[in-house]
Structure 1
């Protein structure tokens, strides 16, 4: 079984619903959810003129190889109404593979670890919560150290349910 870290994000509609529904779908189709981070409310990254995201990190134990994991993620996103219109645009659900064991994979459709992980505070905060000492297989730094060195200063706050 492989350990993978998946980052979920939503900034359209009922954001909590989409995170919860995606988590349920991942648990039934991908593998056992072994840990969940707190939910964070984060400013949009990349294309900043859009609503804030809710983000949550899942640690999942899976028997799926990386390419099949991506296929399942894409199907779940589509079933929940994800439309890929504008890069980094608003979306009901986004699921990113951050790590898959200590694998380094560079395919046109899938790069592991996530290629912009080190530049995204919204990904590093929940990673540091669940796996602060996990070592990035390319940069050879812990998630904790990546967060300290992260150039992103956008706010990432623990979500308070309204």
Structure 2
């Protein structure tokens, strides 16, 4: 009489454990990749909202410090860039005052913006009339760079014409 034993051998158990380990490692790796990128769309949306906030503020200002309120008659001097004197953001009154503004996002009065920790902005303004088919002094280019958490970088550009 032969006796039959039901069950798995030690070799079969070791092979099963190895196969399950490899499968679990692959699944966990995929989940960690997905979880690491889940904040990307949120940061992109927040960067666009922040850019809109800054561009609306900048584009609502006068073309140049010498431009009268309302923009008429238009400024006919040379294109100048940079804040006049010791202005701070609360006293910026024309587009080129924003040149060189950088740091943590804030409101026009200098108060910190909630919900934007880890973000930073950098603004550059340049004379750029020839880029849009106008005389050099007739338009300014505003370049806004936003760095989000994780060193994601977003660049936005707008033009302000002298009208």
* TM-score tier after normalising by the smaller chain length: under 0.3
TM-score (normalised: structure 1): 0.24
TM-score (normalised: structure 2): 0.24
Greater per-residue helix proportion:
2
